[in-house]
Structure 1
Amino acid sequence: MPDENNILETIIDEIIDADCQQLLAGLTILAKDMSEYLAVNAYYGKDTQRFTRVYGTTLTTNRFLWRLAAPELYRTLEEEEITDKFAERVQVSNFTMEPLLNAALNQEWTRHPGWALLLAFRQDFSDVLCQQPDGLIAPALNTTGDNREFVISIAHVLLEKKFSSAPHWYPLTAQLSVLIAKAGLERYCESTKQ
């Protein structure tokens, strides 16, 4: 099995240069993938409860509208012919996030829920990313999203404080960390105060 830190860093390296719309589309796919993975494997820890709560709020917001406009959101990934199981396969030696970089996934039905997910996670993460006067993130408030070490720092904080060190969290955490870094942490934290 590959070194877990190397897996996380490899994932970040693979997606760090993607544009935000593609990352938002990928976030939707990764969240659906994680939801299905957690259900199939019967995970019930605090990390799972947190994810399920945040993910669930985005699915119930405007549910009637989304059912009409984007019924894809309520089908399984397999039904949508997206068969890459990111959470399940993350520890496989040839694991890649490349399918999420496919421009065909960058659709309205994936971007808009991705944005809703980012906003929901932003609220949930603000306590560990924005309210730590001496934490790992606070000294880097003006660091930009293309700074690899900054993104890795965010990912480690989220894994430690919000999810867990289990590798199945790596793809989702990496995607969220890159999006947060690209938004700029100062702007990100300022928006959580509103």
Structure 2
Amino acid sequence: MRRTPKKTRRGFSMVEVLISLAITSTLLTATMSALNASFKGYQVTSEGASTNVVARIVMQRLTAMIRTGDSFGPYPINPITTPEIESTYIEFVSYRDVSTGTERVTRLERRDADEGEDGPYELWYILTTYVNGTFEDEDEAPLLVGLNDVVFTLRYDVGPKLKRATVDLIIQPDDMQDIAVGSTLEAPTIRLVASASPRMND
């Protein structure tokens, strides 16, 4: 009986190793590209959603303050010929107590951010308290940052009496996240426009 020689097992050749490395690197590159797109898409979606929610809350609060306000400014020079005025701020009396002589004036204004005069801008809330016509106290705080623009359009009737105030707000979403995943995808700007009339006009 003849014995068949045993075949010795041999390892992978250099060509086989190089081919398997090329296939593996191609698969890893495709996987990383998909993860990159997923992370950037998540960032854009979360930035847009959170900024939209915050901007809507601020806009709702602004219109509520305008509805309950009194003695609005700025006031046009001649409301008969130009009853409408555009401004970067609006101010009004938000609280008045005749018995104590206390009056609170609210001012909402667009301010330039530190980067420069062309934006981004910030929307600030300033509350000034007067007692018997004398300055008593002032508080201020930013409401929104990263604004492309904010414009207050005030339409007056003869009086002076504010008929309607329109707030036009354009904001660039930014969730304060810095995920550097090498993509140029950006969340689209959000524009919110709302109008309100003081309740005294109803």
The structure where helix makes up a greater share of residues is 1
Q: Please state which structure has a larger fraction of its residues in strand.
A: 2
Of structures 1 and 2, the one scoring higher in RCO (CA 8 A, sep 6+) is 1
Q: TM-score, normalised by structure 2?
A: 0.26
Q: Give the structure with higher Rg (CA).
A: 2
